[in-house]
Amino acid sequence: MGHSQTEKAQSRERIVDRAAKQIRKNGLQSVSVGKLMSAVGLTHGGFYGHFSSRSELLAVALERAMSEGAESFHAEHPQSHAAFETILRRYLSRRHRDHPAEGCAIAALAGDAARSDETIRRAMSSHIKAFADEILDSLNGDDRGTALFIIGALVGTLTLSRVLDTKDSDALLAAAKRELFTLDAGRNSH
């Protein structure tokens, strides 16, 4: 007896949801198809009824993880676009540092994506570009290079802050906010 299309869609949703949560917490390489399928109550063989490859699953799960991170930010800041200061304070916060599974998937997974196939890199790149658009909007600017630099500073700072001890981590977060606020203040003074 076959599964209905509704049941198949629900199964696929469970697989993607579980994989997205797992990669946000433990990285792209943490996903084992067999273990994932078992965790959602399905057989390993059933995987290929939903995805053509592990790579396809990872691209879909990465997309989900990044979309959820963006949605989480916008749920807390529902205005049409967040002010640059709001983005900095939220992104470079202790809460964001201490909860990587709930935070920005770019920061959590960029290193993994850089070592992955073109499909994964393309998915990550599209979200970086969308984040750059958000930064440009928050600055009322048009310098894409500066927006990408800011993202690099945010992602790099957050990533390193998760490695350092609490004292140095807090100092790094504070210094990055201060320097990036200065960058914005300098732009506005011209």
Residue type for 130, please?
A: A
Segment among 70-84, 119-133, 171-185 with least mean pLDDT: 70-84
H or E stretch at 161:
helix 144-161
Residue type for 121, please?
A: R
Residue 100: DSSP 8-state: G
For residues 187 and 93, the model is more confident at 93
Half-sphere exposure of 70 (CA within 13 A, CB side): 19
Say if pTM beats, i.e. exceeds, 0.75. yes
Mean pLDDT for the stretch of residues 22-26? 88
Neighbours of 156 (CB within 10 A): 14
Gyration radius (Cα) of the chain, Å: 19
Query: Which residues, 6 or more positions from 81, have their beta carbon under 8 angstroms from its beta carbon?
Result: 134, 137, 138
- pLDDT recorded at residue 67: 87
Residue with tokens 């440009």: 136
Mean pLDDT for the stretch of residues 46-53? 92
pLDDT grade for 80, boundaries at 50, 70 and 90: very low
